[in-house]
Amino acid sequence: MDYSDLIEKLLNGNSRAAARLITLVENDIGAAENIIKAIYSHTGNAYILGITGSPGSGKSTFISTITKIFAEQGKKIGIICVDPTSPITGGAILGDRIRMKDNFSLKDVFIRSMANRGQLGGLARATEDAVKILDAYGCEIIIVETVGVGQSEVDIFKSAQTVIVLLVPGSGDDIQAIKAGIMEITDIFVVNKMDLAGADKKIADVMQMLQLKMNYKYESEKHDENNLVKSKWTPEIIKVNSVTGENFEQMIELINKHREFLNESGVLVDYQKNRIKSETIQILKHKISQKVEGLIHSNPTIDEYLRLVMDKSLDPYSMANLIVKLLGIE
Amino acid sequence: MDYSDLIEKLLNGNSRAAARLITLVENDIGAAENIIKAIYSHTGNAYILGITGSPGSGKSTFISTITKIFAEQGKKIGIICVDPTSPITGGAILGDRIRMKDNFSLKDVFIRSMANRGQLGGLARATEDAVKILDAYGCEIIIVETVGVGQSEVDIFKSAQTVIVLLVPGSGDDIQAIKAGIMEITDIFVVNKMDLAGADKKIADVMQMLQLKMNYKYESEKHDENNLVKSKWTPEIIKVNSVTGENFEQMIELINKHREFLNESGVLVDYQKNRIKSETIQILKHKISQKVEGLIHSNPTIDEYLRLVMDKSLDPYSMANLIVKLLGIE
């Protein structure tokens, strides 16, 4: 299929073309490949914010408020809501966001939901591609929001320059939940609903947890190159009220501070290199998995291996080795 | 390294050998390969239960109680607690489980914590391997517990024959959280803490959600082979009190009912086939990723591609294709 007409419209700022192209990259990696190839040279201008927080942390209101501020600055904004947890409730979240959309003029804000369609790697890859489409579409700020917290967010946030995690005063459950790998990639912790009792206590809790992380970091640095790069930044903590907008000015300043840090420290270049590496590896894994799954379903030799493993005359590792040989990539 | 001494001890029921071998498969896929090859023919006898539920659903007490019942039946039990969310808090969970251990004689129950060490695929793979070690060690029941809920559990539970999800009366948050892909693979829903108000309401909620799932299933079946296999079973729902043991007899009956269903319907064979396929694909992905990551860090041609992508003269998809060519697996 030829996407050049849609892509031309996209580059001219047509929102329906953007929506259509995102659907295409979501459903078909073949289409994604052609589309991204065509638009790639038009990307790299957007600033990408990753925002997460447990259910009840007020993500919708927070995003509405911050989006309004960016819109008032005359910026074109894209919002991608990613739900890695379920294909079922995609509709519910979408509904939420459509209500959110009422606050903005369609011209300035593009909102899109993406739900998991069974392949986690696929979702992260599709999100990366959607970000690129909105980038080429001309969005200056792209907000990637995920619900819940967990390892999947880490993959999804690989393209975010600044990662914000929302917490609320009260029970420590949200910190518990966020203890995830997401911790290590968070740049700004925002205690939302600062009017509730315990906001300062929550700030203290975050600081304590960061201390724990610092102690742990020494060990993790040995494992993860991305951590090393990110770790030069000390995460900021701020409390806000998303309903009244209190402290949002300071929070935007923190985002800008982080953005400047990325530019001036030279971290951004390392970071982009790592991002491209991990993106390429993701695409490769996807291509190779597809190939292998295709083989497993069609190749009689592999079917024979499968029978042998069922009989316990062969083990899965040896089967994997035999397939590696079959593929010729020893 | 030669593992034959440890493996001989394992097969003779030496728990320290089991612990040592699990550490080995956890830390090193090379060791895992050798160990699993050696023990694979001794596996396949354990019944594997996957248990999850949000924080506060009473997993520890539930597992203590069910373990006590199995131990009283004279069964040898293995418990693997998997925390996919964080490497940091591995210690805390371990502490929890050590307290749990006080309830049992060491002879009958083997308890082990596994935390995420940065690679999600790696954790699911390591858990699969730990299950096999405990299987070869002679455990008749292996409980794989995960904290929290999410896509990662789906991978981790691939080896579980019966998947149990714990819920508690009260707020609907736990159902919200569990809406994850885990929903589709749950065989028994257990409303724990049935003495609290709202237990029957929670059962009704689960039934409603299952109805939603049924409506959705038609579409999802087209995508996921595993679902097709599992979907022949209609999930059971039961309320229990883990502190008093109330309704546990009936719950064990439900587990047995599911076990019989798996055997008699022939589903087990399909299921094992799928399990081996997905395990092999996981191992393959790991091997191939390692190879590719190695190449990216050492191959000057790939470094050159990387520079081109940074300059936007090349895009990540084209880079992936060039690497596929370089690997010779087109």
Residue, of B261 and A55, whose pLDDT is higher: B261
Contact residues on chain B for A211, CB-CB shorter than 8 A: none
Q: Give the pair of three-digit tokens for residue B189.
A: 């829903």
- CA nearest to A92 within chain B: B176
Find the range with the poorest average confidence among A64-73, A190-199, B30-39, B110-119.
B110-119
* The CATH number fitting domain B43-267, selected from 3.40.980.10, 3.40.50.300, 3.40.640.10, 3.40.50.740: 3.40.50.300
Specify the pLDDT at position A310: 87
A55/B177 Cβ within 8 A: yes
Measured CA to CA, the distance from residue A103 to residue A98 in angstroms comes to: 9
**How far is residue A31 from each of residues A8, A117, B254, B317, B325, measured CA to CA in Å?**
16, 16, 46, 11, 20
Selection from A131, A125, A126 nearest residue A144 by Cα: A131
How distant is the Cα of A69 from the closest Cα of chain B, in angstroms?
Answer: 31
Q: What percent of chain B has pLDDT over 70?
A: 79
pLDDT band at A106 (very low <50, low <70, confident <90, very high): low
Question: Given the structure tokens 């979501």, which residue do they identify?
Answer: A26
**Rounded to the nearest 5 degrees, what angle is found at the Cα of B206, between the Cα atoms of B262 and B64?**
65
- Total CB pairs under 8 A between chain A and B: 196
Question: Of the segments A51-65, A76-90, B222-236, which one has the largest average pLDDT value?
Answer: A51-65
Segment A269-287, tens digit of pLDDT: 877 887 788 788 778 877 7
Q: Provide the β-strand partners of residue A79.
A: A111, A143
Q: Could you give the CA distance from residue B326 to residue B295 in angstroms, rounded to a whole number?
A: 10
Question: Distance between CA atoms of B28 and B169, rounded to whole angstroms?
Answer: 42
Q: At what angle do helices A15-27 and A4-11 cross, to 10 degrees?
A: 130
Which pLDDT band holds residue B153 (cuts at 50, 70, 90)? Answer: low
What Cα–Cα distance (Å) separates residue A241 from each residue in A106, A172, A204? 25, 19, 18
Q: Are strands A109-115 and B47-53 parallel, antiparallel or unpaired?
A: unpaired
Residues 140-199 in B contacting A (C-alpha not used; CB under 8 Å): 148-152, 173, 176-177, 179-181, 183
Residue in B with minimal Cα distance to A323: B284
DSSP for A21-82 reads HHHHHHH-HHHHHHHHHHHGGG-S--EEEEEEE-TTS-HHHHHHHHHHHHHHTT--EEEEEE
Q: Chain A neighbours among B 7-66 (CB < 8 Å)? A: 32-33, 36-37, 40-41, 43-44, 55-56
Q: Where do the domains of chain A lie?
A: 43-265
Sequence-ordered list of residues with C-beta below 8 angstroms from that of B139, at least 6 positions apart, any chain: B46, B76, B77, B78, B110
B109-115: strand order across its sheet: B109-115, B77-83, B141-146, B47-53, B162-167, B188-191, B236-239
Helices B267-298 and B29-39 cross at an angle (nearest 10°) of 150
The answer, for A228 touching chain B at a CB cutoff of 8 Å, is: no
Chain B residues whose CB is inside 8 A of the A296 CB are: 277, 280-281
pTM for the structure as a whole: 0.66
Please state, in angstroms and rounded to a whole number, the distance separating the CA atoms of residues A111 and A18. Answer: 11
Please give the structure tokens belonging to residue B326: 């370089």
Give ipTM to 2 decimals: 0.74
Q: Which of residues 269-328 of A touch B (CB under 8 A)?
A: 269, 272-273, 276-277, 279-281, 283-285, 287-289, 291-293, 296, 306, 309-310, 312-313, 315-320, 323-324, 327-328
Taking an 8 Å cut-off on Cβ atoms, the answer to whether B309 and A283 are in contact is: no
Question: What mean pLDDT is reported for chain B?
Answer: 81
Lowest mean pLDDT among A277-281, B56-60, B152-156: B152-156
User: Is residue B49 over pLDDT 70?
Assistant: yes
pLDDT at B36: 93
Better-scored residue on pLDDT, A255 or B90:
A255
Whether A43 shows a pLDDT value over 50: the answer reads yes
Q: And the tokens for B20?
A: 């040592």
Architecture of domain A43-265: 3-Layer(aba) Sandwich (3.40)
Tell me the C-alpha distance between A289 and B280, whole Å: 11
